[in-house]
Structure 1
Amino acid sequence: MAAGETAVLSSPLKTDVAHVCETAETGAAMARKSVSAAAAAAIVASAGPGCESRVSKSALATKLLSLSGVFAVHKPRGPTSAELLNRLKEKLLAEAGMPSSEWTKRKKQTLKIGHGGTLDSAARGILVIGIGRGTKMLSSMLSGSKRYIAIGELGKATDTLDSTGKVTDEKPYDKITQEDIEGILRKFTGNIMQIPPLYSALKKDGQRLSALMKRGKVVEAKPARPVTVYSISLEKFQPPFFTIDVECGGGFYIRSLVSDIGKELSSCASVLELTRTKQGPFTLEEHALPEDKWTIDDIAQCLERCSALFPAELALKKSKPEESNAQGLSCECVALNETKEEGDVIKTV
């Protein structure tokens, strides 16, 4: 049922004569409206309690399927990007009155939703989401730079290059100065070569390196590859901790950067905290929806605001909303990862 029809069913019948005169409608027109409203009320009454709720859920399901575009959410520390996407999907389905078990049974309509650019489970920050035809826009929308705030810890190396891993080495850091770090950072600006972490979503023989490592398999490091650092600055130094602000291109690993900084300083280092503050044209402060705003209406409003961020060539290609049919729905989640090696499509139903 359309949204306008929902409003008729849920609105009380108005019979104030003065109001009728003020609206300058004819008696015949008002009579027709009264009959229609009375008939609608009779349908609701005959359907019994809960009908209005079902009508509302149907309208929400229709609106959910009509959503199309790109927006951003705030990912907390803990869940993986895929887990967060599933959490978002579950909240939207529940709001629309379509629990997951129902979606596995109905295949007539598809809700496409995906994220672009995997963020480590131990990291927090902005995660860009595509919904509807917006899933096809993610690669183009996110071809720009990313920005991170990282807190590194000197004197401690781990197998994952961050605080979640096992300590593999410890070295002194007491003679390292702020000037030493600032001098080292200049070596990591521009086009550089970087070896990706062993614990990553990169693959070997179709399996993620991180999964192989967790199973105790022997994994060889991927060869160094070219990456780009647009800017890097030291924000704070309070030994053993240092905070850096990094803007980089795709395929760049902050964990590898922090580890390499430690080695250049004749010590070692690992990431203590990591926050992504920018992804493409989206920023954490301006565009990321917190979890309490993961509703159909809030996302619809966010999609409208974020449409101004589309490049001109994408704006011209914006298509009509997805055709919707609340009677038969299914769900497809698509994850577009950071690099070409991770460019496989992950689908969950």
Structure 2
Amino acid sequence: MSDIEEIPSGVLVVDKDPNMTSHDLVAITRRQLKFKKIGHCGTLDPMATGVMMLVIGKATKLQDKLMCEDKVYVGSLKLGVTTGSQDKESDTVEVKDVPDFSEKDIDKAFKKFSGDFEQIPPMVSAIKRNGVPLYKLARKGITVERKPRAVTVMDYKVHRVELPEVDFTVNCTKGFYVRTYAHDIGQDLGCGAHLIALRRTRSGKFDLSRAIKTEDLKVATREQIIEKMIKLDEIAEMLSE
């Protein structure tokens, strides 16, 4: 049996469930397709949901190009509590009272983190130092200096302010940490903050409208997955627009 002949190349957009990794989705898809040449276009934190792009067959050559595209996230932050990982997945570091901020106060803080600026990546991240992921060092209680990264926020919107929680959407460049965004906004407001929910709704031209749910992927047949895939000719057309 020739897998390469039987499986067309393309991109499978998966709506990732929480508490799963990119590697989990790749493993599930390999099992269901009985095909090994599958990669993923960047990671999402385990707590995050939404768009995860899997590249299949010859589409693996497009991996770097697809990862460079901008992203859109919908998130929620909680003011007054700072955590070690900058999200709800780790222990509390500091608790402060949250002043009675107005929506204008919140928007002013968000506005400071728009356009071009620099982020210092969190210690709990997949960035490597001497070949070791920072999150492994963080687990040992080791903190190392991280170089600031140039990032861009093209657009943002604050949807709901019900203190201490704030819901927002952010359109940003590759390599952007929404956890750090939430943390930095909290620092600017003087009370701290951490990310409590995150969903990626778009990566480049790929969004949730073409996604297969994780629960469906786990039981999908080869034929059903192939039908869901966006084939190479359509991808070429999308990228040329």
What is the TM-score normalised by the length of structure 2? 0.91
Q: Give the direction of change, closer, same or farther, for the CA distance of 1:304–1:155 in structure 2 (3 Å limit).
A: closer
What amino acid maps onto 1:269 in structure 2? A
Q: Give the direction of change, closer, same or farther, for the CA distance of 1:313–1:261 in structure 2 (3 Å limit).
A: closer
Mapped to 1, the partners of 2:230 and 2:165 lie a distance apart of 41
Any idea what SS the aligned residue of 1:180 has? helix
Any idea what SS the aligned residue of 1:70 has? strand
- Listed as ranges, the matches of 1:157-236 within 5 Å are 157-216=82-141, 218-236=142-160
1:89 aligns with 2:30: yes
Cα-to-partner distance string for 1:310-334 (whole Å, 9 max, x where unaligned): 347789xxxxxxxxxxxxxxxxxxx
Do the aligned partners of 1:184 and 1:264 also contact (CA within 8 Å) in 2? yes
After TM superposition, give the deviation of residue 287 of structure 1 in Å: 1.5
Mapped to 2, the partners of 1:128 and 1:80 lie a distance apart of 12
Mapped to 1, the partners of 2:122 and 2:11 lie a distance apart of 29
Q: Give the direction of change, closer, same or farther, for the CA distance of 1:87–1:221 in structure 2 (3 Å limit).
A: farther
Do the aligned partners of 2:78 and 2:165 also contact (CA within 8 Å) in 1? yes
- Listed as ranges, the matches of 1:30-41 within 5 Å are none
- Listed as ranges, the matches of 1:131-146 within 5 Å are 131-146=56-71
- 256, 280, 283: which is aligned to 2:204? 280
After TM superposition, give the deviation of residue 290 of structure 1 in Å: 1.2
Do the aligned partners of 2:9 and 2:232 also contact (CA within 8 Å) in 1? no
After TM superposition, give the deviation of residue 308 of structure 1 in Å: 2.4
Cα-to-partner distance string for 1:66-106 (whole Å, 9 max, x where unaligned): 3211221111000111122212222333xxxxxxxxxxxxx
After TM superposition, give the deviation of residue 63 of structure 1 in Å: 7.5
What amino acid maps onto 1:298 in structure 2? Q
1:79 aligns with 2:20: yes
Match of 1:253 in 2: 177
After TM superposition, give the deviation of residue 306 of structure 1 in Å: 7.4
Any idea what SS the aligned residue of 1:111 has? coil
Structure 2, unmatched stretches of 5+, are none
What amino acid maps onto 2:117 in structure 1? I
Do the aligned partners of 2:183 and 2:193 also contact (CA within 8 Å) in 1? yes
Mapped to 2, the partners of 1:120 and 1:283 lie a distance apart of 18
Compare relative contact order (CA 8 Å, sep 6+) and give the higher one, 1 or 2.
2
Match of 2:212 in 1: 289
Mapped to 2, the partners of 1:306 and 1:172 lie a distance apart of 53
Runs of 4+ in 1 over 3 A off after TM superposition: 61-65, 304-307, 311-315
Q: Give the direction of change, closer, same or farther, for the CA distance of 1:312–1:160 in structure 2 (3 Å limit).
A: closer
- 219, 226, 232: which is aligned to 1:300? 226
Do the aligned partners of 1:161 and 1:259 also contact (CA within 8 Å) in 2? yes
Q: Give the direction of change, closer, same or farther, for the CA distance of 1:270–1:312 in structure 2 (3 Å limit).
A: closer
The root-mean-square deviation of aligned C-alpha atoms, in Å, is: 2.1
1:115 aligns with 2:40: yes
Q: Give the direction of change, closer, same or farther, for the CA distance of 1:64–1:88 in structure 2 (3 Å limit).
A: farther
Mapped to 1, the partners of 2:100 and 2:148 lie a distance apart of 30
Q: Percent identity?
A: 30
Do the aligned partners of 1:154 and 1:241 also contact (CA within 8 Å) in 2? yes
Which one has a larger percent helix, Structure 1 or Structure 2? Answer: 1
Mapped to 2, the partners of 1:202 and 1:313 lie a distance apart of 28
After TM superposition, give the deviation of residue 304 of structure 1 in Å: 4.5
Which sits farther off after the overlay, 139-148 or 162-171? 139-148
Any idea what SS the aligned residue of 2:36 has? strand
Do the aligned partners of 1:196 and 1:221 also contact (CA within 8 Å) in 2? no
Cα-to-partner distance string for 1:9-44 (whole Å, 9 max, x where unaligned): xxxxxxxxxxxxxxxxxxxxxxxxxxxxxxxxxxxx
1:150 aligns with 2:75: yes
Q: Give the direction of change, closer, same or farther, for the CA distance of 1:274–1:306 in structure 2 (3 Å limit).
A: farther
After TM superposition, give the deviation of residue 178 of structure 1 in Å: 1.2
1:69 aligns with 2:10: yes
Structure 1, unmatched stretches of 5+, are 1-57, 94-109, 316-349
Mapped to 1, the partners of 2:20 and 2:230 lie a distance apart of 27
Any idea what SS the aligned residue of 1:137 has? helix
Mapped to 2, the partners of 1:149 and 1:288 lie a distance apart of 17
